Amino acid sequence: MDKLIIQSVDKSFGRIRALRQASLEISTGIFGLLGENGAGKTTLMRIIATVLKPDAGEITLGDIKWSRDSHKVRQILGYLPQEFGAFKNVTAEECLKYIAQLKGIRGSEECLLQTERVLKEVNLLEAKDRKVGGFSGGMRRRLGIAQALLNDPELIIVDEPTAGLDPAERIRFRNLLRQLGKNRIVILSTHIVEDIEATCQSLAVIKNGTSVQFSSQQELSAIAEGKVWTWKLSNADYNSLGKDVHVVSSKIHKEYVEARIIAGVKPGPEAEETEPTIEEGYLVWNMEQE
Amino acid sequence: MEHGTRIKEGLVDIKGMGAFFYIPIGIMAVNAVYCYLTRGRYGVPIEIVRESYGIFPIICISFWISCLFEDLLNSEGREMLLSMPYKNLEYGLKRVIRYTLLYIIIFYIFFALAVLMIGRNVVMEAQDIYLPVLSIFFYSAFNFLIAVITRNSVTVMTAAGILSMFMYLTRGSASLCIYPLQWGNPNPFFTPYAVGIALFTATLALYAAAQMLFSNRDFLMR
């Protein structure tokens, strides 16, 4: 399958420059786009989904150019935005059939087949006759993925899919995403590092509208190599740690606190260097940008 | 699109409108009863029907049009819909016109019912056909444009209400014969033919503007 190539995409909203020369090359599989709120992730997702037009730059997938072939892009695309709140007064099945028609699926039999297939894939077949307005947050997200799967798209974009979901729903969703990435391009945009860790083969980080691509999770975590320490401290010592010490996480035990710390040099005689996680790699990268 | 699938798509649209689909129908039904109860009061029977059906039932197309695009323009799910490969003309203007025609059919069913309920000889004129049709289309076009610009169904209905009040109070004297309430609340200085031409022209312009904006997904996303 062809690569999705995003070249030097710019987008501004008035004086706010949301994207600055964002460039990525994305192959088949699940690609993570990680960044804090306001970094430009959603703007980029909307541009790929053809909901917004970039001010400059180009996106291509094989022969398809976003600037020239937006209708064709929409035909091969499945998009799950952050919010999925449409069609509250109809049942899940009716909603999907309606969307199937918007996507150009012809014939009521074909519509029915595709609707049932995607409902089964997201485990909502039994709820197909329930009104969408009565769905829980997790069910609505799964319905959102179901509509994105209609017409078997080559490219799926999922924007902050697990935000607001309980842990069980989040795990279910990640498992579903892993299945989806087997023979298509899936772009997962999120600020939740665990989602990236659980699902993505390659990723990029976006900050202030600029993107940096990493070929693997290990490449990102390697940025924090030699800078992550575990340190067992007494409660008193832990509480007196200065603000210049960057504590990533801490585990409270009966008589001590086990802290993970990011520091350029060994923060104390008993601190031990440890293997960094993606989250720590991301934090170090973020700090270096600032 | 197949006929069968179009009907099913229509049912989803109607369900999506919720109670607002039925409000205009309820009003038309009530007006039919009103015509029956007041049938002895008027010298010219058709005037009962014009007065009953010439104001609110015409304005009430606003409920339908404002709700028709609720999901696309005003909901949390609009991004998803905006990324769909729908044809702009099919999903925009043609859809509005389909529902406007449906509304006109229902309007005339209740019009016929009211005429039957009057039980006297009701003499109709050509304006009893073309003026309500053009007036309903005018409101349909106006609401389509306001819906696309404001993306808020409450604003659409409020705008229709304000326009109607202004039109009713001025009897169209400030709007160059563009007077969609002429049939129910006539301005004696206007001829039905002149009002018909004005409404037709204004409707075309409003539909064109609305569809042009509707076709711009960047604009709809703002």
The span from the CA of B2 to the CA of A250, in Å, is: 61
Whole-number pLDDT of residue B5? 56
| DSSP of chain A | -PPEEEEEEEEEETTEEEEEEEEEEE-SEEEEEE--TTSSHHHHHHHHTTSS--SEEEEEETTEETTT-HHHHHHTEEEE-S-----TTSBHHHHHHHHHHHTT--SHHHHHHHHHHHHHHTT-GGGTTSBGGG--HHHHHHHHHHHHHTT--SEEEEESTTTT--HHHHHHHHHHHHHHTTSSEEEEEES-HHHHHHH-SEEEEEETTEEEEESSHHHHHGGGTT-EEEEEE-HHHHHT--TTSEEEEEEE-SS-EEEEEE-SS--STT-EE-PPPHHHHHHHHHHHH-
Of A52, A84, A104, the CB nearest to B76: A84
More confident residue, B124 or A148: A148
Best A87, A108, A114 member to test B by mutation, with max B CBs in 10 Å, is A87
What ipTM, to 2 d.p.? 0.83
Residues of A in contact with B92 (CB under 8 A): none
Q: pLDDT below 50 — which residues of chain B?
A: 1
Whole-number pLDDT of residue B204? 97
Report CB contact under 8 Å: B9, A101.
yes
Q: What is the mean pLDDT of residues A109-117?
A: 90
Minimal C-alpha gap between B214 and chain A (Å): 13
Residues of B in contact with A16 (CB under 8 A): none
pLDDT over 70 at A195, yes or no: yes
pLDDT over 50 at A50, yes or no: yes
| B72-109 pLDDT, tens digit each | 776 677 888 899 999 999 999 999 999 999 999 999 99
pLDDT over 80 at A164, yes or no: no
pLDDT over 70 at A174, yes or no: yes
pTM across the whole model = 0.85
The span from the CA of B3 to the CA of B10, in Å, is: 11
Scanning B73-92 for CB atoms below 8 A from A yields 75-86, 91
Of A46, A71, A101, the CB nearest to B79: A46
Report CB contact under 8 Å: A79, B9.
no
Residues of B in contact with A82 (CB under 8 A): 79
Least confident residue range of A154-163, A242-251, A274-283: A242-251
CA-nearest residue of chain A to B2?
A: A107
From the list B184, B186, B161, the residue with the least C-alpha distance to B55 is: B184
Of B2, B15, B83, the CB nearest to A89: B15
Whole-number pLDDT of residue B1? 46
- Give the CA diameter of chain B: 58
Whole-number pLDDT of residue B3? 54
Whole-number pLDDT of residue B2? 52
% of chain A at pLDDT higher than 90:
52
| A237-249 pLDDT, tens digit each | 888 877 777 888 8
Query: φ, ψ for residue A197 (rounded to 5)?
Result: -60, -40
* Any A CB within 8 A of B71 CB: yes
Residue A83 pLDDT level (bands cut at 50, 70, 90): confident
Please return the burial class of A147, using the count of CB atoms within 10 Å of its CB with bins 0-12, 13-18 and 19+: buried
Minimal C-alpha gap between A193 and chain B (Å): 24
Q: Any idea where the domains of chain B sit in the sequence?
A: 2-221
Of B1, B16, B78, the CB nearest to A90: B16
From the list B13, B95, B115, B20, the residue with the least C-alpha distance to B61 is: B20
B42 token code pair = 């008027």
Whole-number pLDDT of residue B6? 61
